[in-house]
């Protein structure tokens, strides 16, 4: 079996750390030896389904120990894991099932009804015994006692992940077994993870950032403590009671963590077990940094920037978080990053261009989507004006990320915008992210802000700002302050107040700008 697969980590951990706690969830825990046994039982059952090699198996359930066992069992076979976050609606699940031809779904009692409503005609497995026609983990653990052996190749497809954005019809990104091992190795290295660490499993396991917590824990023979974030008080209890040392979070969770009466937040002494906090998937604000440093004064805080097409591009060293908090950092180990302009030449310091990712952690492409794959996965010839390609023996693939960034004089990168988000107005390109950042810095009373555009024949597109706050701020006051920080062509033409802003149903980190735009256009008819 290849050493470049998660299966090899499970077997090695069970051999060398058989009695070590691998996973804990509330009052339950499981050792590495017990974990391997249960993974083998489920993998054996999946193998007996006799599906063609490479068949896709979905997991659509709430977080729990059985969910992790299911993930590792699929990765122990020659099938492909397709995580389906429980936040998805039935029609979104049906879209993914059809898009990648899922043959089997592993679920729980709560999601069975959703699956049955879409008339799924493949195999269904439930964690709990539901009714006689649906096999369950309970039955598998009771009756499947045979030894299980497998061969997994590092280059084989391992996972297809989907992220629903504004369009509602995403393309799945294909991740190999080698990709999973590489991502665990590099994160364990630059975060300096240790065997005695306890990693918090608060992220959902539908994307690589969440899945990586499982794999890093296995890689270092550490412990994964599962938790579902609902209330800040419960989360703090999780950190204290589970003696968590490493926490991976989304920025929205960091905000929610401190959305509590100050007197109800535990003292720094009670939270002193935590040594590392990471953030990815959004902008880290000065307030987040301030709150973390107040309650976790000795923690190493890493801000990171990942891609859809590659596991991760950059991270910011904790020592730099107060010096350059807006930076996404520098390239992670084994990665080269370049910023190029539309002519293919390298941008000068502080000149905005497209981020090109070369080196490790590049995924295999988009599932059944040759056009989308060709748009992002490029020949290294795209860098012919930047690096010396003399003597190249193969046509190397790099990722044209679609991220607009710039690099400062010291080599630190700064995110500006996604290519698709850029607004063209009065002959200029405007980044919504840049305007939103200025609003965030200068209007602490504003809770959320969305910058987007609507058509305007005279100036191409006009800029719209929609914001939420406890009370409305006079538009002239907002405009006056923004003029002190932004060029005139970047000032919003319309400023709209709403008590709350809509979020994307399957991604509570993002404001649904398309809904806001549609609402505004309807009102202008």
* pLDDT score at 301: 97
pLDDT recorded at residue 313: 95
The predicted structure's pLDDT at residue 314:
96
State the pairing for strand pair 397-407/413-418.
antiparallel
On whether both 398 and 445 belong to a single domain, the answer is no
Average pLDDT over residues 215-234: 95
Strand pairing report for 246-249 and 198-201 = parallel
393 pLDDT higher than 70: no
The CATH number of residue 478's host domain is 3.30.300.30
Distance CA 296, CA 275 (A): 8
Domain annotation covers residue 368: yes
Top-confidence residue, 282 or 183: 183
Q: Is there a single domain that holds both residue 10 and residue 103?
A: yes
Asked if the model's pLDDT at residue 392 lies above 80, the reply is no
Output the six-digit token pair for 20: 């070590």
The closest alpha carbon to 220, from 199, 203, 205, 249, belongs to: 199
What backbone phi and psi angles, to 5 degrees, belong to 71? -60, -50
- Is residue 267 in some structural domain? no
Instruction: Domain of residue 443: give its range.
Output: 422-524
Choosing from 128, 145, 176, the residue where a domain stops is: 176
Do 410 and 431 have their domain in common? no
Within-domain flag for 373: yes
Establish if 200 belongs to a structural domain.
Answer: no
Residue 112: what pLDDT? Answer: 85
The reported pLDDT for the residue numbered 118 is 85
| Residue 35 resides in a domain | yes
| pLDDT interval class at 73 (50, 70, 90) | very high
Q: What percent of the chain has pLDDT over 70?
A: 97
What total number of domains does the chain contain?
A: 3
Residue 199's Cα: distance from chain center in Å? Answer: 16
pLDDT one-digit tens code per residue, 23-50: 999 999 999 999 999 999 999 999 999 9
Cβ 44 vs Cβ 146: under 8 Å: yes
CA distance 367 to 350: 35
Q: Are residues 510 and 374 in the same domain?
A: no
Burial label for 382, CB within 10 Å (0-12, 13-18, 19+), is middle
Query: What is the four-CA torsion angle of 77, 83, 84, 85, rounded to 10 degrees?
Result: 140
The CATH number that applies at residue 402 is 2.30.38.10
Indicate whether 466 and 389 sit together in one domain: no
Domain end point (choices 390, 418, 446):
418
Q: What is the pLDDT of residues 275-328, one digit of tens each?
A: 999 999 777 878 889 999 999 999 999 999 988 899 999 999 999 999 998 899
Assigned domain for 266 exists: no
Q: What is the pLDDT of residue 260?
A: 77
Confidence at residue 420, expressed as pLDDT on a 0 to 100 scale:
67
Same domain for 394 and 478, yes or no, is no
Q: Give me the pLDDT at residue 132, please.
A: 75
| Residues 441 and 500 occupy one common structural domain | yes
Task: Please report which confidence band the pLDDT of residue 506 belongs to, taking 50, 70 and 90 as the band edges.
Answer: low
Q: Is residue 262 part of a domain?
A: no
Token pair 């039935």: residue: 90
List Cα–Cα distances, 294 to 84, 261, 314, 469, in angstroms: 36, 14, 25, 25
Judge contact between 354 and 400, C-beta under 8 A.
yes
Phi, psi of 454 (to 5 degrees): -130, 155
Q: Kindly state whether residues 13 and 160 are assigned to the same domain.
A: yes
* Residue-wise pLDDT tens digits, 469-486: 999 999 999 999 999 888
Q: For position 268, what pLDDT does the model report?
A: 95
Let me know the angle formed at the C-alpha of 253 by 165 and 161, rounded to the nearest 5 degrees. Answer: 35
Distance of CA 169 to the CA centre of its chain: 18
Residues 181-188, mean pLDDT to the nearest whole number: 96
The region that residue 172 occupies, defined by phi over 0 for left and psi between -120 and 50 for alpha, beta otherwise, is beta
**How sure is the predictor about 489, in pLDDT bands with cuts at 50, 70 and 90?**
confident
354 and 498 assigned to the same domain = no
CB 380 within 8 A of CB 396: yes
For residue 144, pLDDT over 70 is answered with yes
| Share above pLDDT 90 across residues of the chain, in percent, rounded to a whole number | 71
Backbone angles phi and psi of 15, in degrees to 5: -80, -45
Give the pLDDT of residue 167. Answer: 46
509 and 367 housed in the same domain: no
**CATH number for 63:** 3.40.50.12780
Residue 312 has a pLDDT of: 94
Q: Return the residue matching tokens 């030449």.
A: 345
Both 359 and 502 in one domain: the answer is no
Tell me which residue has tokens 């261009």: 353
- Residue 206 located in a structural domain: no
Of 115, 150, 176, which one is at a domain's C-terminal end?
176
Q: Which whole-number Å values give the CA distances from 186 to 8, 75, 183, 192, 469, in the listed order?
A: 17, 20, 5, 10, 41
Statement to judge: residues 108 and 66 lie in one domain: yes
């Amino acid at each position: 079996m290849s050493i470049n697969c998660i299966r090899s980590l499970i077997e090695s951990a069970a051999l060398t750390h058989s009695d070590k706690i691998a996973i804990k969830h509330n009052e339950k825990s499981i050792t590495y030896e017990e974990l391997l046994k249960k993974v083998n039982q489920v993998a054996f059952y999946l193998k007996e389904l006799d599906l063609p090699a490479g068949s896709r198996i979905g997991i659509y359930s709430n977080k729990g120990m059985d969910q992790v066992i299911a993930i590792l069992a699929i990765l122990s076979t020659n099938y492909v894991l397709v995580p389906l976050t429980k936040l998805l609606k039935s029609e979104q699940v049906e879209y993914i099932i059809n898009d990648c031809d899922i043959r089997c779904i592993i679920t729980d009692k709560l999601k069975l009804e959703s699956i049955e409503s879409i008339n799924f005609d493949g195999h269904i497995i439930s964690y709990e015994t539901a009714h006689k026609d649906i096999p369950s983990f309970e039955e598998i653990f009771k009756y499947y006692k045979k030894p299980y052996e497998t061969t997994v190749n590092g280059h084989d497809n391992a996972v297809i992940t989907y992220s629903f954005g504004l369009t509602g019809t995403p393309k799945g990104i294909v991740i190999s077994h080698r990709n999973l091992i590489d991502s665990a190795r590099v994160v364990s290295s630059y975060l300096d993870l240790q065997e005695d660490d306890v990693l918090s499993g608060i992220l959902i396991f539908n994307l690589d950032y969440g899945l990586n917590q499982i794999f890093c824990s296995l890689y270092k023979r550490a412990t994964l403590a599962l938790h579902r974030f609902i209330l800040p008080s419960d989360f703090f209890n999780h950190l204290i009671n589970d003696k968590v040392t490493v926490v991976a979070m989304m920025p929205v969770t960091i905000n929610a963590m401190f959305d509590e009466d100050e007197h109800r937040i535990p003292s720094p002494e009670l939270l002193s077990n935590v040594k590392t906090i990471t953030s990815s998937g959004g902008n880290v604000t000065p307030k987040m940094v301030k709150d973390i440093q107040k309650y976790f004064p000795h923690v190493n805080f890493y801000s990171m920037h990942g891609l859809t097409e590659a596991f991760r591009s950059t991270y910011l060293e904790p020592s730099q978080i107060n010096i350059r908090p807006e930076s996404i950092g520098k390239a992670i180990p084994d990665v080269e990053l370049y910023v190029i302009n539309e002519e293919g030449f390298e941008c000068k310091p502080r000149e905005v261009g497209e981020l090109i990712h070369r080196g490790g952690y590049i995924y295999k492409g988009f599932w059944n989507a040759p056009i989308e794959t060709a748009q992002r996965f490029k020949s290294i010839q795209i860098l012919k004006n930047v690096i010396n390609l003399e003597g190249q023996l193969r046509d190397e693939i790099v990722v044209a990320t679609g991220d607009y960034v710039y690099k400062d004089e010291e080599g630190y990168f700064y995110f500006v915008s996604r290519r698709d988000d850029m607004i063209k107005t009065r002959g200029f390109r405007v980044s919504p992210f840049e305007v939103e950042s200025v609003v965030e810095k200068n209007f602490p009373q504003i809770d959320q802000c969305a910058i987007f555009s609507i058509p305007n024949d005279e100036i191409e597109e006009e800029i719209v700002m929609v914001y939420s706050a406890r009370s409305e701020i006079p538009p002239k006051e907002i405009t006056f302050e923004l003029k002190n920080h932004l060029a005139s062509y970047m000032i919003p033409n319309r400023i709209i107040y709403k008590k709350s802003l809509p979020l994307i149903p399957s991604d509570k980190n993002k404001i649904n700008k398309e809904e806001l735009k549609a609402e505004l256009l309807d009102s202008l008819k």
